[in-house]
Amino acid sequence: MYHLKNYMEILVDEILPGMLVKENTICKCERCIMDIKAIALNRLPAKYIVSDIGEIYRRYDELGKQLEIDVMEAIMRAIELVKLYPKHDA
Ligand SMILES: [Zn+2]
């Protein structure tokens, strides 16, 4: 079974929860978390891969640290934006 995946989305899903834990001032409702994801992914180049699940985890090791730093930076900026302009219903 093969999947077409945006590898960046996998990375954001992997990294975002750990960053949210450290953020005390950001709203963590579903809407805000999805907004953070969307903003971060719009800032990152899409990186589509065809793979099975095992392959995805091997890629993670291959692509390594720099990509992870880029993703963390994009998430950080997205968190700041959502903090300033939350779109959830009051
Ligand atoms: Zn919210």
pLDDT digits (tens, 9 = 90+) for 26-68: 999 999 999 999 999 999 999 888 877 666 666 666 667 788 8
Q: How far is the CA of 34 from the centre of ligand 1 (A)?
A: 9
21 CA distance to ligand 1 middle (Å): 15
Q: How far apart (Å, rounded) are the C-alpha atoms in residues 8 and 62?
A: 14
**Residue 40 DSSP label:** H
Using CA atoms, how far apart are residues 42 and 74, in angstroms rounded to an integer? 9
Beta bridge partners of 51: 3
Q: Give the other-Cβ count within 10 Å of 47's Cβ.
A: 15
Task: For residue 84, give the amino acid letter.
Answer: L
Q: Is the pLDDT of residue 6 over 80?
A: yes
**Residue 57 has what pLDDT?**
62
Q: Which residue has the higher pLDDT, 31 or 3?
A: 31
In this predicted structure, what is the pLDDT of residue 53?
65
Distance from Cα 6 to the centre of ligand 1, integer Å? 25
Tokens matching residue 71: 């993703």
